[in-house]
A and B are shown apart, each in its own frame.
Chain A
Amino acid sequence: MQAAIPLILNAMTLISILLLVSLGMAIIFGLMNVINLAHGEFITIGAFTLVVIQGLGGSFWIALIVAPMVGYVIGLVLEKILISRVYGNPLHAILVTWGLSLILQQVIQLGFGSAPQPVSGPFPGPVTIAGVLYPAYRLFLIAFALATFVAVVVIFKKTRFGLDLRASIQSTEIAAVMGVNPDRVNAHAFALGSALATLAGVLIAPMAAVTAYMGINYLARSFFVVLVGGAGSIPGVAAGSGIIGGLETLLSYQIPVTVAQATVLILAIVILRFRPQGILPS
């Protein structure tokens, strides 16, 4: 039993990371149906916001507040000049956002260099939990991810913006007739998804190698989380993260991490064959 606790906690850490990363993806891809291959770069932007703020002498907590704002503003601007032109054409969305992703990677690399950036998180050192030593930061991460998830669900179910968004997803025309401005809803939904990705970037940064290419590692996995969980459903994100993160942690105890990641993605492809609509469809 004692040995199982780190395993469970490790699985929960990875699931939390995937949950944070995929929530934004679930809004942009699952709900708005826009394939955003630059989603990983928003995670990178979040992590580099932390790098810049800590470089200026600021704390982790300031970055945790500033990064989502940065993501929100960048998201709004990009939606206006690029993304709004490719609604309804997935292939165009793929090409545009992939181009954006390549440009952002290189710009960040040119600005900061290719060496991993030093960042530090709060709560250094371990705490004892059920008789096992475990890094305190990871426990904070798990708690924060859960809180973020609940907050997103509340935004969707309880706010005017959530109602407008759900309405325009069901039928853009009817929502527009009812006085919901679809351009405005789309812009803010995309910005919200981007803000969630940058938030995830800050939280991941203390545990990862912060480089210009860090986001790409999460891109495919977050797509699979959304696809396996069920595109268009927020509870599906939790289910997808649980399956992908749980399997990956379990497997990486037995086989090398890269092979474990590969195996999980292959399993996800097999799951899609039998449940194309996902585990918890909307």
Chain B
Amino acid sequence: MSSGLKKIHRQAANRMRVPTLVAVVLVLALCVLPIWIDGYTLNNYRDILLLGLFALSLDLFWGRTGILSFGHATFFGLGAYGMAITTIKLGLDPAWASLAGLAVGVLLAAVVALFVGYFILYGGVRGAYFTIVTLALTMIASHIAIGWSSMTGGDSGLIGVPPLSVLGYTFYDPVSSFYLALGALTLCLFGSLWVMHGRFGLVLKAIQDDETKARTLGYKTQWLLLKTFVVSAAMAGLAGALYATGTGFVAPDMIALLLSTEVIIWVAVGGSGSLVGAVIGTAIVWQLQVKISSISFAAWPIAIGVFFILLVLVFPEGPVAFLARKLSKLRGSRKGEAQ
């Protein structure tokens, strides 16, 4: 390897060092969390972890390729509905029904992503057009989830999803299901950080900067994008399937356009591209969402709307980076005064 390439690799690794450090601290802190809290609150944290995993899956694609998917709730919902339908409707042996449900949920998400991704990524659909097609995908999915009521329970969804059970062990109580969620998130988070650290992450960055150039250099850019899209969708499906086992039910709002929108905010708040930021963003926005929704049902969508407009007009680089810049400017001007 030439020294120039080594230098680029080192730069890329350095750029990921902070997120990795943050991720380690975050996971360690979460590991000891059940000592202090339990029961219902811990269940809440479990849900946040799984939604954080969902946000991570979007960041893996959006943050790394620059192509925004407006349809990630489709994959989350496919995971959740795949799990629910397999465990409730098929009448399988309960000992392994939930594992089968997990496999069905993740596979469904991956296969749909493969199909749609093939047609649009190989069709040359990029940028904003990709966003529209994936937006339509969520609309289709939620249409089906509401319309096909004999299978999906329609508007009221399906109740009675059993907790995950592996080889006779059931993740039933809050503590074990919390650790299940944490385990899944940790694996996916460090797996993603590791892959994006390396060559693959660099190539994706190159595609984001200039796809034609990357293809001229011999990279099969469409295939690389498709691969990332499918892995990202499978991860969203995993989050959805585990989420369904945690809450015990599925409902159409798990596959709705609003969820597709919310996950974009979670990632944007954390700063897209850092991966661990997506998880932190989810936790922050989730707390806000609970507070704002308790004021009025309409307040939350309006808050999202205002956020989107502010995101573009006031802080296009993300609120965290915006605050950091303002703070450093403030500190800089204070220093100037002191001198």
Binding site for B on A (CB under 8 A): 35, 37, 82, 85-86, 90-96, 98-103, 105-107, 109-110, 216, 219-220, 223-224, 227, 256-259, 261-262, 265-266, 269-270, 272-274, 276
Chain B residues, Cβ within 8 Å of A216? 139, 257
The CA of A91 and the CA of B183, in the complex, are separated in Å by: 34
The CA of A100 and the CA of B305, in the complex, are separated in Å by: 6
Closest to A91 in B: B68
The CA of A5 and the CA of B48, in the complex, are separated in Å by: 55
Q: Does B124 contact A (CB under 8 A)?
A: yes
Binding site for A on B (CB under 8 A): 68, 70, 116, 118-120, 122-125, 127-129, 131-133, 135-136, 139-140, 143-144, 146-148, 257, 261, 264, 298, 301-302, 304-309, 311-313, 316
Chain B residues, Cβ within 8 Å of A276? 123-125
A272 CB contact (under 8 Å) in B70, B123, B127, B312: B123
Chain B residues, Cβ within 8 Å of A110? 298
Q: Is the CB of B133 within 8 A of A269?
A: yes
Chain A residues, Cβ within 8 Å of B261? 98, 102
Chain B residues, Cβ within 8 Å of A223? 132, 136
B131 CB contact (under 8 Å) in A91, A101, A107, A265: A91
Chain A residues, Cβ within 8 Å of B307? 99
Closest CB pairs A-B (n = 9): A99-B308, A90-B128, A258-B147, A102-B305, A103-B305, A273-B123, A99-B305, A220-B136, A262-B140
Q: Is the CB of A92 within 8 A of B312?
A: yes
Known: A258-B143, A259-B144, A265-B136. A85 touches B305 (CB 8 A): no
Closest to B309 in A: A99
Closest to B62 in A: A91
Q: Is the CB of A270 within 8 A of B119?
A: yes
Given contacts A92-B316, A95-B309, 12 further A-B contacts (CB under 8 A): A35-B132, A85-B312, A86-B312, A96-B309, A96-B313, A99-B309, A102-B305, A107-B302, A109-B298, A256-B147, A258-B147, A259-B147
Q: Is the CB of A220 within 8 A of B139?
A: yes
Closest to A266 in B: B140
Number of A-B residue pairs, CB cutoff 8 Å, is 115
Q: Is the CB of B301 within 8 A of A105?
A: yes
Q: Is the CB of A101 within 8 A of B305?
A: yes
A95 CB contact (under 8 Å) in B119, B136, B143, B311: B311
Closest Cβ of chain A to B136, distance in Å, is 4
Q: Is the CB of A265 within 8 A of B140?
A: yes
Q: Is the CB of B120 within 8 A of A269?
A: yes
Chain B residues, Cβ within 8 Å of A35? 128, 131-132
Closest to A101 in B: B305
Known: A256-B147, A262-B144, A272-B120. A94 touches B304 (CB 8 A): no
Closest Cβ of chain A to B307, distance in Å, is 7
Chain B residues, Cβ within 8 Å of A96? 308-309, 312-313
